[in-house]
């Protein structure tokens, strides 16, 4: 790629950060995907964005597929490329968007793994006394009680907690703000943590969850602490923060059957994203049916 083509890319990243105010995590994904595209263009002899035609885009998609990227990851990369070309069209640097209409190969949709209600209860029930343990118990209870994303828990500030009203205000993807209920056990755990929080954090620290140093607890540290407690609580499966979000959604849907409410609680822009939990719910119903119906049980082979 010529130097000017690379400059357009850097100007686009500044546009995403300064004008569109996208999160740093989203910017990392955009940069990674488009750097991959530049590498492909260099190998294919494409030196400017106006010479990157639809045939080359399809070649790039095929190359990503050969490298083992999933259909979902390739779709995300294509979305980044389309967004970049919309920016180039606005800047009158190109005359067409070659990624328009190009689709990613379909990949099988894997259902998210969830904990049972008993497993979730065992995980979050910690005998906590020290500040760090109180913090971890409050974090686990909140993740399961309210279905927060990891990034939402990391960025959560004290001003966004309303324990009296039983609510938490979180900022999700795309800067979308939503209010989510906080259950009684999570509220109790948070109150205990907040009474001990001053032992780690100064008065100027806004974050709800802080590290031993007093700084905001980061995503990697949260993941590490969750793995630690999962092992200590004797969980049978590997546990990560998003599994608690999946479990929250599955258990609420299983009890209520209200898909729209679960969509709002999770902060999903599209109901289609939430519908995956109906498959989880059906699997549960199917197991109950197989066990309960006298003519559904399979006979063992003689």
Instruction: Give the three-class secondary structure for 238.
Output: coil
**Closest C-alpha among 80, 79, 36, 35 to residue 60:** 36
Adjacent-strand bridge partners of 169: 179
Helices (H), the chain: 3-14, 24-44, 54-66, 71-90, 117-124, 131-146, 150-154, 184-196, 219-232, 241-256, 259-266, 271-274, 276-292
Give, in degrees to the nearest 5, the angle at Cα 220 between 218 and 222. 70
Query: For the chain, how far is it from start to end, CA to CA, in angstroms?
Result: 69
Tell me the catalytic residues: 149, 173, 242, 245, 268, 277
| 16 Cβ contact list (under 8 Å, min separation 6) | 22, 26, 27, 30
């Amino acid at each position: 790629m010529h130097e000017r083509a690379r400059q357009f890319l850097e100007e686009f990243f500044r546009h995403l950060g300064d004008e569109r105010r996208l999160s740093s995590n989203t910017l990392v994904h955009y940069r990674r995907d488009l750097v991959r595209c530049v590498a492909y263009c260099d190998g294919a002899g494409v030196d400017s964005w106006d010479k990157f035609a639809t045939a080359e885009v399809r070649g790039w998609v095929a190359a990503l597929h050969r490298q083992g990227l999933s259909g979902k990851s390739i779709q995300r990369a294509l979305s980044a490329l389309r967004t970049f070309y919309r920016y180039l069209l606005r800047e009158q640097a190109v005359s067409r968007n070659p990624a328009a209409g190009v689709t990613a190969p379909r990949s099988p949709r894997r259902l998210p793994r969830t904990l049972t209600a008993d497993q979730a209860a065992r995980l979050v029930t910690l005998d906590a006394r020290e500040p760090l343990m109180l913090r971890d118990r409050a974090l686990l209870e909140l993740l399961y009680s309210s279905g927060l994303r990891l990034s939402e828990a990391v960025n959560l500030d004290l001003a966004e907690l309303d324990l009296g009203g039983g609510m938490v205000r979180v900022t999700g993807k795309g800067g979308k703000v939503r209010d989510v209920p906080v259950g009684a056990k999570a509220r109790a755990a948070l109150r205990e943590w907040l009474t001990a929080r001053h032992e780690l954090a100064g008065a100027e620290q806004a974050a709800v969850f802080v590290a031993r140093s007093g700084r905001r607890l980061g995503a990697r540290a949260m993941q590490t602490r969750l793995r630690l407690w999962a092992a200590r609580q004797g969980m049978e499966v590997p546990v990560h923060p998003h599994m608690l979000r999946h479990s929250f959604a599955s258990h609420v849907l299983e009890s209520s059957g209200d898909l729209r409410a679960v969509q709002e609680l999770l902060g999903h822009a599209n109901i289609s994203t939430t519908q995956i939990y109906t498959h989880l719910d059906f699997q549960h119903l199917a197991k109950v049916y197989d066990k309960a119906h006298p003519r559904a049980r399979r006979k063992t082979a003689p």
